[in-house]
Chains A and B, each alone.
Chain A
Amino acid sequence: EAQVTQNPRYLITVTGKKLTVTCSQNMNHEYMSWYRQDPGLGLRQIYYSMNVEVTDKGDVPEGYKVSRKEKRNFPLILESPSPNQTSLYFCASSPRLGWQVETQYFGPGTRLLVL
């Protein structure tokens, strides 16, 4: 089944404790992206990757890191989480048509609470 998986689905952590949220897709998509969703603010892009070893900042990259060593995986790293990173996080992937970003397939989301 074609899908995007994220782990963990729920996470409670404390300020400063490094964490990684994994994202994997099995559709051989070139484009992958991380978003955070907060009430009243919609979805905001954190980082995206156009292909392996190619990543770029989205609109709210501060406090986050990513890597794209393999096509299928795009982990999101919070080196020193803070309470303002409490949010619902989504990973997504899509094929590309030239420079265009096509239909995005979303993971189920990771709900993060930073105390």
Chain B
Amino acid sequence: SQQGEEDPQALSIQEGENATMNCSYKTSINNLQWYRQNSGRGLVHLILIRSNEREKHSGRLRVTLDTSKKSSSLLITASRAADTASYFCATDARIQGAQKLVFGQGTRLTINP
């Protein structure tokens, strides 16, 4: 099973609405990162939140981290058509002696005009 799993797998909303994506993970982490990927392109870093932080903001993005529940959420407020993309969470953790950044399978977000 995956270290990081996003929920939902796909999300379709109207422009201007808020979009919330969730990420769950299994092991202790150093930090959790969110990335955006436009179709077939490289991933772009959005936010990094450390294990001792609970909430972080960047423009219209808000990320929360609950280490007791091993979960994180990404909120995009006042969505725009340009926000249409896939969003991935990635956890930095030491797994079986190896330092790994493990990605979930992503949430496909579609913003309808």
Contact = CB atoms under 8 A, between A and B. Distances in A.
Interface of A: 4, 33, 35, 40-45, 48, 50, 56-59, 88, 90, 92, 99-109, 111
7 contacts: A56-B98, A101-B99, A104-B35, A104-B43, A104-B45, A106-B43, A107-B42
Given A104-B45, A105-B45, A43 B99 contact: no
Given A99-B94, A100-B31, A101-B92, A42 B42 contact: no
A45 B43 CA distance: 14
Interface of B: 2, 30-31, 33, 35, 40-45, 48, 88, 90, 92, 94, 98-106
Nearest to A57: B98
For B35, B43, B44, the residue with the greatest tally of chain A CB atoms inside 10 Å of its CB is: B43
B40 A109 contact: yes
Chain A binding surface SS class:
strand
Contact of A103 (B45, B94, B100): B45
Contacts of B99: 48, 50, 99-101
B41 A108 contact: yes
B106 A104 contact: no
B95 to A, nearest CB: 10
Nearest to A39: B105
Nearest to B98: A56
A18 to B, nearest CB: 25
B88 A108 contact: no
Given A58-B100, A88-B40, A104-B35, 14 more contacts: A40-B105, A42-B2, A45-B101, A90-B43, A100-B99, A101-B30, A101-B31, A101-B101, A102-B31, A104-B43, A104-B45, A106-B43, A106-B44, A109-B42
